[in-house]
């Protein structure tokens, strides 16, 4: 019997997925129309680089300036997009996007469990959830923010509110990286009530968690998002401004400080034109370009 290698590869990939997620596996098995299999095939084809292709650059394509507002799609483009079937398979994308790294997962699991039950500062009394962080454990770029806000506390995920949407736009449009390919975590894992600034004692109590995350993920580039993260990672006293527009270092890892997206939003809100962009936006865009240039210079991580 002739063996179709393409199909074999697809079946192996599907088997791995089935084992990872039994409930989705059930969906595959009860897929009489074969729609899921077709979606899987086209997705696998998109994800699998040609064997002889060189290692992919961490920068995927020409970035778009995230400061530019997207042109409104034409009515025919909207109609065409609406008529496209939305396969259930899209539910799998984030998982495939952030490949599983069992050894890194294991290295972090004890810390993550400890964080879930952590009572090392008073924030445990008011938190709804411990916002550990998310993304590719083998990411080239790791973003370290300040602390969860209300949306993050409720969702248990970092940067999902208004600031988060802006940060995601910066990553996806500005850097041409999917959010699942970077790692995002906060200096503080629990929400300070009323979104107040975290206290020095809270930052200290939480430091071992972010310290361990950075050590395990070992990114090529660290991005300190805002002053709180910058001060912590650079060990600066509270009254010193975070240094910007230059490369710094955290334990040998190149570090760049960028404005916190909530600051970018506050600056934009001061302008009469909601679509206008501020000096802080332009500075951020320059930082992003520098980060991408550094990534190119460093090249992809070795597997």
Extract long-range pairs of 263-272: CB within 8 Å, 24+ residues apart: 263/226, 264/166, 265/162, 265/163, 265/166
Residue from 158, 192, 219, 254 touching ligand URA (CB under 6 A): that is 158
Between 198 and 254, name the residue whose CB sits nearer to ligand URA.
198
Q: How many residues line the site for ligand URA (CB under 6 A)?
A: 12
Between 17 and 256, name the residue whose CB sits nearer to ligand URA.
256
**Residue 135 touching ligand URA (CB under 6 A):** no
Between 40 and 213, name the residue whose CB sits nearer to ligand URA.
213
Range in contact with ligand URA (rule: CB under 6 A) among 31-39, 90-98, 141-149, 291-299: 141-149
CB of residue 127 vs ligand URA: minimum separation in angstroms?
A: 13
Cα 41 to chain center, whole Å?
A: 26
Residue from 136, 152, 172, 281 touching ligand URA (CB under 6 A): that is 152
Range in contact with ligand URA (rule: CB under 6 A) among 4-12, 113-121, 151-159, 242-250: 151-159
Range in contact with ligand URA (rule: CB under 6 A) among 10-18, 75-83, 145-153, 274-282: 145-153
Return the residues of window 162-221 that contact ligand URA according to CB under 6 A.
163-164, 186
CB of residue 181 vs ligand URA: minimum separation in angstroms?
A: 18
Range in contact with ligand URA (rule: CB under 6 A) among 10-18, 69-77, 114-122, 144-152: 144-152
Range in contact with ligand URA (rule: CB under 6 A) among 20-28, 40-48, 158-166, 213-221: 158-166
**Residue 149 touching ligand URA (CB under 6 A):** yes
Between 41 and 147, name the residue whose CB sits nearer to ligand URA.
147
Between 89 and 168, name the residue whose CB sits nearer to ligand URA.
168
Nearest C-alpha neighbor of 242 from the set 253, 234, 251: 234
Q: Three-state SS across the chain?
A: CCCCHHHHHHHHHHHHHHHHCHHHHHHHHCCCCCHHHHHHHHHHHHHCCCCCCCCCCCCCCCCCCCCCCCCCCCHHHHHHHHHCCCCHHHHHHHHHHCCCCHHHHHHHHHHHHHHHCCCCCHHHHCCCCCCCCEECCCCCEEEEECCCCHHHHHHCCCCCCHHHHHHHHHHHHHCCCCHHHCEEEECCCCCCHHHCCCCHHHHHHHHHHHHHHHHHHCCCEEEEECHHHHHHHHCCCCCCCCCCCCCEEECCEEEEEECCHHHHHHHHHCCCCCCCCCHHHHHHHHHHHHHHHHHHHHCCCCC
Give residue number: closest CB to ligand URA: 145
CB of residue 148 vs ligand URA: minimum separation in angstroms?
A: 5
Which residue ranges make up the site for ligand URA (CB under 6 A)?
145-149, 152, 158-159, 161, 163-164, 186
């Amino acid at each position: 019997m002739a063996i179709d290698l393409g199909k074999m590869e697809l079946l192996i990939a599907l088997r791995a997925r089935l084992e990872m997620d039994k409930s989705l596996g059930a969906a595959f098995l009860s897929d009489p129309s074969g729609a899921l299999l077709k979606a899987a095939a086209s997705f696998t084809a998109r994800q699998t680089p040609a064997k002889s292709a060189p290692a992919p650059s961490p920068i995927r394509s020409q970035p778009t300036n995230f400061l530019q507002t997207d042109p409104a799609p034409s009515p025919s483009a909207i109609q065409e997009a609406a008529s496209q079937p939305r396969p259930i398979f899209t539910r799998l994308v984030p998982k495939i996007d952030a490949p599983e790294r069992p050894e890194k997962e294991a290295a972090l699991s004890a810390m993550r469990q400890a964080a879930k039950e952590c009572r090392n500062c008073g924030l445990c009394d008011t938190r709804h959830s411990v916002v550990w962080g998310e993304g590719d454990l083998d990411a080239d770029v790791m973003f370290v923010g300040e602390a969860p806000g209300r949306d993050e506390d409720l969702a248990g995920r970092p940067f999902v509110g208004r600031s988060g949407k802006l940060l995601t736009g910066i990553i996806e449009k500005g850097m041409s990286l999917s959010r699942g390919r970077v790692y995002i975590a906060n200096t503080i894992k629990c929400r300070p009530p009323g979104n107040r600034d975290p206290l020095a004692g809270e930052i200290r109590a939480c430091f071992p968690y972010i310290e361990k995350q950075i050590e395990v993920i070992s990114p090529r580039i660290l991005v300190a998002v805002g002053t709180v993260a910058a001060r912590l990672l650079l060990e600066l006293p509270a009254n010193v401004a975070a240094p910007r527009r230059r490369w710094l270092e955290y334990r040998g890892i190149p570090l760049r400080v960028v404005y916190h997206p909530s600051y970018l939003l506050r600056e934009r809100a001061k302008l009469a034109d909601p679509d206008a962009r501020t000096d802080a936006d332009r500075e951020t865009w320059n930082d992003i370009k520098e980060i991408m240039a550094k990534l190119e210079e460093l090249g992809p991580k070795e597997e």
